Amino acid sequence: MSDITLLAIESSCDETSAAVIHNGIILSNIVAGQEVHSKYGGIVPELASRAHQQHIVPVVHEALAQAKIVKKQLNAVAFTGGPGLLGSLLVGVSYAKAFAKGLGVPIIRVNHMQAHILAHFIDDPKPAFPFLCLTVSGGHTQIVMVRGYLDMEVIGETQDDAVGEAFDKAAKMLGLPYPGGPLIDKYAALGNPLTYEFPHVDMPGLTYSFSGIKTAFLYFIQRHTKLNPDFVAQHLPDICASIQYTLIRILFSKLRKAVKETGVQRIAIAGGVSANKGLRKTLEEAAAEHQWEVFIPSFEYCTDNAAMIAMAGHYMYEKGLFEEWTFSPEPRLKI
Ligand code: KG4
Ligand code: ZN
C-alpha cells in the first residue's frame, strides 16, 4: 500500500487533542487540557464543549505544523466517535467531517476504548496477540481479550463506577481538586498503604464494583473527622496510600482470575489510571512473581490523546474501514 498520512482528533472528554501519523509513525501529538473544571469538582459537560470549540482550531494547526505536514498530504481524518460526552464528541466529529469534506478525503470513526489499547502499538516493545488489557479510565474499567488490532472482546467490566471515578470521588472527599486521581497517586507515594483497611465486596466472575468502596470511604472520613476535625490534613499520605492500595488490589484480584481462566499471560494496562505509579509497580511485581509478560504505556499515551486515535485510524485505513458522512457521535459506544 502507498503512503498513509492521517490527521486524528480526540475530543471525548476534557482534553482536546490532535495528532498526525505517517505510515504508523506518530509525527505529532498536541493535547490541550481544560482547567475550567477543577473548581467544580468534576467535568461540567457544557463547559467542556465550549472549551473544545476554543481549542480545536489551534490544536489541529499546531499538530500539522509540528509534523511538517500540509493539509493536501492527508489521506483521511480519524476522530473519536464514542464513547464520551455527547457535546464534546460533537465538536470533534463536526470538525473532522468539515475538514475532511473540504479536502475530499474519507473519515474514520475510532472507538475511544479500542484506541486506549492500541496506544501500545505506538512505541516498542509492542505486545504480540493475544494479550489481556486492563483498561482503566474515568469512565471504564474493563478486562479485554485482544486477539488482533481490531479484534477485541470485553471479558470483564464494572457494573457501576469506573476505577478512575473511584479515585476522583475519594479525592473530592479529601478536599482535593478535580481530577484527583493523580493527586492521590502523588500523596500515596509518601504514605503507608497498610495504615487503614477498607471493606469491599468481591463480585462474582470477572465483574468489578467500585460503588461500595466509595461509600465505605465516605463513612470512614466522616467517622474520623467527627473525632478529629484535622484528621485528613494530618494523615493525608497514609489515607491516600491505603485507598490506592485497596483499589489496586481489587483490580488485580480479577486480573489474576482472568489470566487463570484464559491462560493468557501477556498483560497490558491502558487508560488514564494506567498512569498510576502504584498500579504500574504492582504490575511489574506481578510480572516477576507469575512470569507474566507485561506492557506499560508511556505516561503521555495513558491519559486521553489523539496519538492513540491516529494509531487506531491507521489500522482501520489499512482495512478500508471508512465512516459515512451521516455518522452521529455515540456516547455509549461499546468495544
Ligand atoms: O483515559 P482518561 O484520560 O479519560 C477517560 O477516558 O476517562 O482517564 C481519566 C481518569 C481520571 O479519573 C483521572 O483521575 C485518572 O484517569 N488518572 C489517574 C492518574 N492519572 C489519571 N488515576 C490515578 N492515578 C493517576 N496517576
Ligand atoms: Zn480515555
pLDDT value for 305: 97
**Residue 334 binned pLDDT confidence (cut-offs 50, 70, 90):** very high
Q: Read off the pLDDT of each residue in 86-91 and give the average, rounded to a whole number.
A: 98
φ/ψ of residue 234, rounded to 5:
-80, -25
Question: What nine digits make up the cell of 218?
Answer: 465516605
Global pTM?
A: 0.96
Cα dihedral angle (180, 278, 249, 184), rounded to 10 degrees? -20
**Residue 20 binned pLDDT confidence (cut-offs 50, 70, 90):** very high
Beta bridge partners of 80: 110
Beta bridge partners of 268: 133, 295
Decide: 182 and 151 in contact? Cβ < 8 Å: no
pLDDT exceeds 90 at position 200: no
Q: Read off the pLDDT of each residue in 33-60 and give the average, rounded to a whole number.
A: 90
Angle at 243 between CA 207 and CA 278, to 5 degrees: 85
Q: Read off the pLDDT of each residue in 88-101 and give the average, rounded to a whole number.
A: 98
Return the sign of the alpha-carbon dihedral for residues 64, 68, 70, 74: negative
Ligand 1 lined by 275 (C-beta under 6 Å): yes
Query: Which of 29, 167, 304 to probe ligand 1 with, by most ligand atoms within 8 A of CB?
Result: 167
Task: Please name the residue whose Cα sits nearest to atom 14 of ligand 1.
Answer: 181
Which atom of ligand 1 is the closest one to the Cα of 137?
8
pLDDT exceeds 70 at position 280: yes
Note the residue count of the chain. Answer: 335
Burial category of 153 from C-beta neighbours within 10 Å (exposed 0-12, middle 13-18, buried 19 and up)? exposed
Q: What is the C-alpha separation between 117 and 302, in angstroms, rounded?
A: 9
Return the sign of the alpha-carbon dihedral for residues 24, 25, 28, 33: positive
CA 105 to centroid of ligand 1, rounded, Å: 33
Task: Indicate the average pLDDT of the chain.
Answer: 96
Q: What is the pLDDT of residues 235-259, one digit of tens each?
A: 999 999 999 999 999 999 999 999 9
pLDDT value for 287: 95
**Residue 1 binned pLDDT confidence (cut-offs 50, 70, 90):** low
For the chain, percent of residues with pLDDT exceeding 90: 93
CA 136 to centroid of ligand 2, rounded, Å: 8
pLDDT value for 42: 83
Beta bridge partners of 8: 19, 78
Query: Which ligand sits nearest to residue 187's alpha carbon?
Result: 1
Ligand 1 lined by 323 (C-beta under 6 Å): no
Q: Read off the pLDDT of each residue in 92-117 and give the average, rounded to a whole number.
A: 98
**Residue 39 binned pLDDT confidence (cut-offs 50, 70, 90):** confident
pLDDT exceeds 90 at position 41: no
pLDDT value for 27: 98
Q: What is the pLDDT of residues 146-196, one digit of tens each?
A: 999 999 999 999 999 999 999 999 999 999 998 999 999 999 999 999 999
pLDDT value for 38: 80
